[in-house]
Amino acid sequence: MRKSSWWILLLCAACAALLVPALALAQAPTVPKLTMELAAGQAEPGEVSTLLEILFLLTVLGMAPAIMLTMTSFTRIIIVFHFLRQAMGTQQMPPNQILAGLAIFMTVVIMMPVGKAINDTALQPYLNEEIQFMEALDRAQKPVREFMFKHTREKDLSIFYSITKEPRPKTKEEVNTLMLVAAFAISELKTGFTIGFLIYIPFLILDMVVASILLAMGMMMLPPVMISLPFKILLFILIDGWNLLIGSLVNTFQ
């Protein structure tokens, strides 16, 4: 077969390869479209209110990770875990996923009384149509605010009122929730760093002892961390470190 015939066959195959997807797309059924319209003057006030509630709930679900980080005990726990890993010098062990998962489960346990109060006073009455949505939202805020007030320093709260130039509240009920959340986050950061510093001290002393022994033996080229790491792990196991650490963390929220 001549070369011109080969070129004709290749051209026909290329055209077929281009036409087959186009024909299949033309014969495929039309994909349905989902639209949401709110005609002016035709919607009832109840329908508009329900639509706004759904939109608000979707927004809250999208912000759920940020809410969990800033309004619960998660911040303090995850900071302490990372300080512990750095103090022991185990690099990426335990992995970040394990630490985050453990911190989430501990947060659920610590926040369980708050969640139960929200369920009893706000969620269940709202689902039973005993109260309106806004009243349920106000009731749900009270247990969370009480938890944050318990672990928020007054000094951190006053910083944000100084920034915004708003009048200082006289009672806890007058404190803005946004101000309280920001102050609570700063207080949790300070508490987490304080606990992390206390955790660092015994491991730092062990590193210094090992480094001094190696220096006295003239083994200056041997990294002290390589020798102290097994002793750190052994010390942490002997004192039942995870049980002690988790128990102490939970007690700080009591």
- Segment 65-118, tens digit of pLDDT: 777 778 888 888 888 888 888 888 777 778 888 888 888 888 888 888 888 888
pLDDT over 70 for what percent of the chain? Answer: 78
Residue 146 lies in a domain: yes
Residue 51 lies in a domain: no
Tokens (6 digits) for 122: 């706000």
Residue 167 lies in a domain: yes
How many domains in the chain? 1
- Specify the pTM: 0.68
Domain that includes residue 153, residue range? 63-199
**pLDDT the model gives residue 214:** 77
- Segment 114-173, tens digit of pLDDT: 888 888 888 887 778 777 878 888 888 888 888 888 888 888 888 888 888 878 877 877
Q: Reduce the DSSP state of residue 123 to 3 states and report it.
A: helix
In sequence order, what are the residues at sequence separation of 6 or more whose Cβ sits closer than 8 angstroms to the Cβ of residue 40? none
In sequence order, what are the residues at sequence separation of 6 or more whose Cβ sits closer than 8 angstroms to the Cβ of residue 64? none
Report d(CA 201, CA 238) in Å as an integer. 17
**pLDDT the model gives residue 48:** 55
Banded pLDDT at 47 (limits 50, 70, 90):
low
Residue 29 lies in a domain: no
- The DSSP code for 32 is P
Residue 35 lies in a domain: no
Report d(CA 156, CA 152) in Å as an integer. 7
Question: 10 Å Cβ neighbour count for 210?
Answer: 20
Tokens (6 digits) for 46: 């109840």
In sequence order, what are the residues at sequence separation of 6 or more whose Cβ sits closer than 8 angstroms to the Cβ of residue 74? 68, 103, 104, 107
Residue 247 lies in a domain: no
First to last CA, the chain: 89
Report d(CA 112, CA 109) in Å as an integer. 5
Could you tell me if 77 and 108 are in contact, meaning their C-beta atoms sit under 8 angstroms apart? no
Residue 15 lies in a domain: no
Indicate the burial class of 211 (C-beta count within 10 angstroms; 0-12, 13-18, 19 or more). middle
Residue 101 lies in a domain: yes
Report d(CA 230, CA 39) in Å as an integer. 70
